[in-house]
Amino acid sequence: MTNNEDQFKRVISHAKEYGYIFASSEIYDGLSAVYDYAQNGVELKKNIRDYWWRSMVYMHQNIVGIDASILMHPTTWKASGHVDAFNDPLIDNKDSKKRYRADVLVEDYAEKLNIKAQKEIAKAKKRFGDAFDEAQFVATNERVLRYKNEQKTILERLARSLETENLADVKALIEELGIADPDTGSKNWTDVRQFNLMFGTKLG
């Protein structure tokens, strides 16, 4: 996680140096995690937007463009799925004070099982060479089957819990798997809560 954070900082520094982004309100100490497009960034954004518009509107006879207001009746946001779908199940670590997406923690754990299975396949392929039958090996090797089945079971349970909004079971799954904070190794978790990504506003 630390390496990813360092890499992200280098990307931000590079983008600032070459005029793609600036920290928002930087002359007034800035606003955390908010950035403005700089002189090159705004041109890049315009080019991408224009390319998307040409490919999605001009190249299709059954599509036209509109520019709707951001402020809409609440029922519109509900009907579009924004109210129900724009939620992330978040969990905090009480020791590190860091917040994570609970589903991503579980998915990362499941992916490690897949990586273990792939390593077993790679070792067997190296050992048997051209005579290696990967499909047969995957279907019969005990370790690969165990990793694959465990991954499948975990992801299916996660999907059911999220679909039914059983956040208590998501936390239970994290605890059962012994998932720890990626940075500190702490397993002292809060309950999982849904965090709505929509911004509330008032008109008038």
Say what the pLDDT of residue 2 is: 57
162 and 196 both lie in a single domain:
yes
Q: Residues 37, 90: one domain?
A: no
Residue 195 pLDDT level (bands cut at 50, 70, 90): confident
Rounded to the nearest integer, the mean pLDDT of the chain is 92
Q: Confidence class of residue 71 from pLDDT cuts 50, 70 and 90?
A: confident
Identify the pLDDT of residue 178. 97
On whether the pTM is more than 0.75, the answer is no
Number of structural domains in the chain? 2
Question: What is the tens place of the pLDDT at every residue in 110-145?
Answer: 999 999 999 999 999 999 998 899 999 999 999 999
Looking at the fold, whether 120 and 201 belong to one and the same domain comes out as yes
Residue whose tokens read 């998915």:
107
What domain range is 89 assigned to?
Answer: 72-204
Alpha helices (H) in the chain, listed in sequence order: 2-17, 39-53, 74-79, 82-85, 102-128, 134-140, 142-163, 167-177
User: Of the candidates 52, 67, 82, which is a domain's last residue?
Assistant: 67
